[in-house]
Structure 1
Amino acid sequence: MKNLTGWRAAGVAFVAGALAALAMPPLQWLPLAVLGVVVFVWQWDAAPGPRSALWRGWAWGLGHFAVGSYWILDAFFVPPADFAFAGPPIVIGLAAILGFFPGLAGMAAKWAALRWPRLGGRHCRLLLLALAWTAAEWLRGHVFTGYPWNPLGHVWAFATPLLQSASLFGVYGLGLLSFLVLAAPAAGWRASVAALVLVGGAGFGGQLAMAPVNAAEGPLVRIVQPNTPQAEKWIPENRVRHLAKLVEMSRREGFDRLSAVVWPETAPPFIVEPGSPALKVMGTAAPSGGYLLTGAARGTGVRGDGVWNSLLVIDPAGAIVAHYDKVHLVPLGEYIPFHRQLAPIAGFIGRGSFEEGEARMTMDLPGLPSVSPVICYEVIFPAAVTGPGARPRWLLNVTNDAWFGLSSGPYQHLASARMRSIEEGLPMIRAANTGVSAIIDAYGRVLASLDMQQEGIIDHPLPMARAITPYGRWGDWVLLGLFAVVTILLIVSSRFGDAENA
């Protein structure tokens, strides 16, 4: 396998990347992550130069992201499926673009290894590749609006204690350690033993850090999961029935004990504008002295102002007492770039565009701890889920994953939500139209949930926040500190500890 060249080497890399994607939720086949990353290292090691390393790394990434993002296809086939023909080329095109990030990691590491021959030892190569991989993964989460989907650290989502180091240096730092662990067999038995010690120590330390679950903590919150099929949601003649169903589910037994009811993203199947008669109806879903917190398409009632993907806070009188407009919109999914300047083209290729919100925020609502809302895939962005100013006491994620059916997408989305809770040390309430709705505590544990395509409600006390975590306080500056530590290890290994392995 190490002696392959050209298309054969790229083909092996492609298959290895595709298999590694199966280690992500919901399958979590961890041995395939080991196989995939070890083959990545072998293919990189056999590459004669930076250009070859780029090519092999790109092929690995093409396979990895094609499998890891296949779920996007489902959205194109939701009736009326006018643009179903565009789904496959868009998904393959996205994978081709994303493939350049592991490709760049391989190219940069190969250039450094050739430039400084001392870095050629087995353990040095592993440290060097881990640094390059993590830098590329961080770039993937930031450039071109960012797409930090399925970072490597998510391979541990099946074991919550192993995720806890993300509270120190975030999911990218966890990814750096994960690369070292998964790639260790490529560096020999001593590296594998060290990796096992690292995993065991992380698991033991994570278990010690996790507080016992407290069943009765904060105010009582109800999540409503209506399980409304996306193809039926926006049909005009269904709107009254859908709204009535949301209200009925909200007011089921125990309603008088609630402090808040939470509906998913764009739950009302219409644009909510000031003065709309529907607001009075929606207000009946707000408990006495509490609130209805709902995702909604928000309009101002003024022609030409546009529509926002928003989180509305509605009191029992039907008044909107606060709102948050989504800041990080999905390109092509929620907006067409330059849609105002290119209105005829934007109208042809899409179903319309939301306007961009001004800033993330923390809401102070009397009777509830302060909260930072995040809408749909905003939750996948590390260090970008809280508002400015005082730290919130919980996170609220409203989403509509009905677009993606029973694919892996909603489960991977949930894994991102759990990771943000760990990083920030904050609990999260997650309301999804068709699932997965969940109560997540400040350690990323799912305390209660409704699975995909289930209709129902969850009543649960709001979990308590932890003391602010290092990552919650300093964000990716802590990741830079981890980079510095690994770089020092690389220098020491290159000078004293790795000469016999060169």
Structure 2
Amino acid sequence: MIKLQGWRALGAALVAGALAALAMPPLYWLPLAIVGVVAYVWLWQAAPTPLSAFWRGLAWGTGHFAVGSYWILEAFYVPPADFALLGPPIVAGLAVVLGFFPGFAAWASRRIIDRWPDLAGRYSRLVVLAIAWTVAEWLRGHLFTGYPWNPLAHVWGFATPLLQGAALFGVYGLGMLTFLVLAAPTAGWRASIAALLVVGLAGWAGQSAMAAIESGNGQGSGPWIRIVQPNVPQSQKWRPETRAQQIAKLVQMSRQPGFDRLAAVVWPETAPPQIIEPGSAALAIMAQAVPPGGLLLTGAARGTPRPEDGVWNSLLVVDGTGAIAAHYDKVHLVPLGEYIPFHKQLAPVSGMIGRGSFEVGEGRVTLTPTGGLPSFSPVICYEVIFPAAVTGPGARPQWLLNVTNDAWFGLSSGPYQHLTSARLRTIEEGLPMIRAANTGVSAVIDAYGRVLASLDMQREGIIDHRLPAPRVATPYARWGDWTLLAMVAFLGVTLIGTRLWKSRQPQ
């Protein structure tokens, strides 16, 4: 056990959290996750008071999220980089805010154990802490619009079979099991062996589930879809002098050989570098990218003939006549990056923040296009990181469409972590995903989270692939976080039952 006190304990927690972040995509240095989580538990155990446990947890979380979210800095340095000096303090401040959640888990669990000392046994205290950790992760994903980036379960992203538990309990439930596995050495060698057995069993069960359908690169029998990855640097994207060239490039890539067999062409988020309104001249050019009898599915900044209505970050369904057959407006906007609260009422002030504000969409949708393309739910960029919030109401869609522009973040870890979130949503929902990214990573992902085809970062190209088949609705797709609640309740009842049983034993 780590028995450091004062600033030494805080410093150790900061370093341990940073080390644990290196187990996240794309590095997956899993041993560092064990080191980081074990240190978190030891420092928590050695804290003299719940408040001390909170500060140690806060320090751990600050180090963890500073390393895990460093990639946000890249966006501040995209030319003209007007706000470059604000990048480091904003990212550091965000890390401190996010650090509150591991701190809360440490504080709450210590309060519980101090109140009921019977729960202080080597196994029961670990379960209490794991439950508190999971509650804190869930809160992080929901409070103040939520930021469920890099939940602990993402450390298994390198081993798809180990991700399959998300189909039962979602990424938060998988994160609870992950915490128990990584922290097992703090409870002794028996717990460590049990953790290894759990990982092995989970891997076997996940692999068996995936073996139920054809594996790897099977094309299946779904309609052909083409993903276009234009690889336009963010510094070039919105320059008026390159507007026509960019749209022409998108059309040319869309019409490469094999065009006639396609059911749909997919362009990434805000692919046309201009606001698209009904009747826009650009729509006639974009219609050239619509395959015969098919559709163009493109991210775009959508406007109306009334400028005062605002602009939406949208997914447009464009038919062969150049008409907008359907659209979806992004609901979960990035605070300050895409959305500034009260921006219309405080126009002089909001105009000085960031690069403008989109309007908030009305709600999730499931689109049922014509031309034989199965129904789908669009998810724009950042929206894909939110569990249980990627499909529209009503009938279940047959696939997910994720359009994004990660050009803001260069070759950092951010786009790879974003891709891992997308894979987890396919597992949770039991639905395949077509993912179009401006500079990567574009991908075809099956309903088990396997990447069947992809284009890596800063590569220009296309992916032609048949749409993978969906699975039967998973427990998580049916009941959402109620399955997580059932898991937490089971562990809680087990703890209470064990405590009552021990209290009745003769001394």
TM-score (norm. length: structure 2): 0.97
Q: Determine whether 1:374 maps to 2:379.
A: yes
Distance 2:85 2:138 in 1: 32
| Contact 1:230–1:402, Cα closer than 8 Å, also in 2 | yes
User: Using a 3 Å threshold, how does the CA distance of structure 1 residues 191 and 496 change in structure 2: closer, same or farther?
Assistant: farther
Which letter does structure 2 place at the counterpart of 1:436?
V
User: Using a 3 Å threshold, how does the CA distance of structure 1 residues 467 and 435 change in structure 2: closer, same or farther?
Assistant: same
Shift of 1:333: 0.4
Task: Output one character per residue of 1:444-492: Cα deviation in whole Å (capped at 9) or x when no partner.
Answer: 0000000000000000000000000000000000001111121133234
Shift of 1:2: 1.8
Distance 2:154 2:357 in 1: 31
Secondary structure of residue in 2 paired with 1:330? coil
| Contact 1:427–1:465, Cα closer than 8 Å, also in 2 | yes
Q: Determine whether 1:348 maps to 2:352.
A: yes
| Contact 1:13–1:56, Cα closer than 8 Å, also in 2 | yes
Choose the corresponding residue for 1:212, options 211, 214, 220. 214
Shift of 1:351: 1.5
Instruction: Write the mapping of 1:439-478 to structure 2, written as runs, cut at 5 A.
Output: 439-478=444-483
Shift of 1:350: 2.2
Distance 2:219 2:353 in 1: 49
Distance 1:485 1:164 in 2: 20
Distance 2:285 2:84 in 1: 36
2:405: which partner in 1?
400
1:100: which partner in 2?
100
Instruction: Write the mapping of 1:63-78 to structure 2, written as runs, cut at 5 A.
Output: 63-78=63-78
Secondary structure of residue in 2 paired with 1:138? helix
2:202: which partner in 1?
202
Which letter does structure 1 place at the counterpart of 2:271?
A
| Contact 1:423–1:469, Cα closer than 8 Å, also in 2 | yes
Q: Determine whether 1:390 maps to 2:392.
A: no
User: Using a 3 Å threshold, how does the CA distance of structure 1 residues 187 and 299 change in structure 2: closer, same or farther?
Assistant: same
Choose the corresponding residue for 2:240, options 223, 233, 236. 236
1:359: which partner in 2?
363
2:272: which partner in 1?
268
| Contact 2:287–2:296, Cα closer than 8 Å, also in 1 | yes
Secondary structure of residue in 2 paired with 1:227? coil
1:417: which partner in 2?
422
Percent of paired sites with the same residue: 72
Distance 2:497 2:122 in 1: 14
Shift of 1:215: 2.0
User: Using a 3 Å threshold, how does the CA distance of structure 1 residues 498 and 448 change in structure 2: closer, same or farther?
Assistant: farther
Instruction: Write the mapping of 1:327-342 to structure 2, written as runs, cut at 5 A.
Output: 327-342=331-346
1:33: which partner in 2?
33
Secondary structure of residue in 1 paired with 2:351? helix
CA-atom RMSD in angstroms: 1.3
Task: Output one character per residue of 1:313-361: Cα deviation in whole Å (capped at 9) or x when no partner.
Answer: 0011101000000000000100111111111000012211000000000
Distance 1:250 1:212 in 2: 29
Shift of 1:273: 1.0
Distance 2:465 2:235 in 1: 30
2:54: which partner in 1?
54
Choose the corresponding residue for 2:282, options 275, 278, 283. 278
Distance 1:454 1:319 in 2: 30
Shift of 1:49: 1.1
User: Using a 3 Å threshold, how does the CA distance of structure 1 residues 286 and 186 change in structure 2: closer, same or farther?
Assistant: same
Runs of 4+ off more than 6 Å: 497-500
1:430: which partner in 2?
435
2:128: which partner in 1?
128
1:86: which partner in 2?
86
Shift of 1:212: 2.1
| Contact 2:17–2:64, Cα closer than 8 Å, also in 1 | yes
| Contact 1:121–1:499, Cα closer than 8 Å, also in 2 | no
Shift of 1:495: 5.0
2:21: which partner in 1?
21
Which letter does structure 1 place at the counterpart of 2:319?
D
2:177: which partner in 1?
177
Secondary structure of residue in 1 paired with 2:373? coil
Task: Output one character per residue of 1:363-394: Cα deviation in whole Å (capped at 9) or x when no partner.
Answer: 00121100000000100000000000000000
Q: Determine whether 1:313 maps to 2:317.
A: yes
| Contact 1:229–1:434, Cα closer than 8 Å, also in 2 | yes
Distance 2:376 2:362 in 1: 17
| Contact 1:122–1:498, Cα closer than 8 Å, also in 2 | no
Distance 1:133 1:468 in 2: 28
Shift of 1:217: 2.3
Shift of 1:494: 3.8
Give 5+ residue unaligned stretches, structure 1.
Answer: none
Task: Output one character per residue of 1:254-312: Cα deviation in whole Å (capped at 9) or x when no partner.
Answer: 00010000000000000001111110000110101110000000000212010000000
Which letter does structure 2 place at the counterpart of 1:351?
R
Which letter does structure 1 place at the counterpart of 2:412?
S
| Contact 1:118–1:495, Cα closer than 8 Å, also in 2 | no
Distance 1:423 1:351 in 2: 34
Which letter does structure 1 place at the counterpart of 2:486?
G
Distance 2:28 2:494 in 1: 30
| Contact 2:220–2:469, Cα closer than 8 Å, also in 1 | no
Distance 1:179 1:259 in 2: 43
Distance 2:198 2:354 in 1: 48
| Contact 1:436–1:452, Cα closer than 8 Å, also in 2 | yes
Which letter does structure 1 place at the counterpart of 2:397?
P
| Contact 1:123–1:493, Cα closer than 8 Å, also in 2 | no
Secondary structure of residue in 2 paired with 1:99? helix
2:330: which partner in 1?
326
Secondary structure of residue in 2 paired with 1:221? strand
Task: Output one character per residue of 1:4-40: Cα deviation in whole Å (capped at 9) or x when no partner.
Answer: 1111000000000000000000000000000000000
**In the comparison of the two structures, how many residue pairs are matched?**
500
Distance 1:300 1:27 in 2: 44
| Contact 1:312–1:320, Cα closer than 8 Å, also in 2 | yes
| Contact 1:17–1:62, Cα closer than 8 Å, also in 2 | yes
Which letter does structure 1 place at the counterpart of 2:263?
S
Shift of 1:129: 0.4
Secondary structure of residue in 1 paired with 2:418? helix
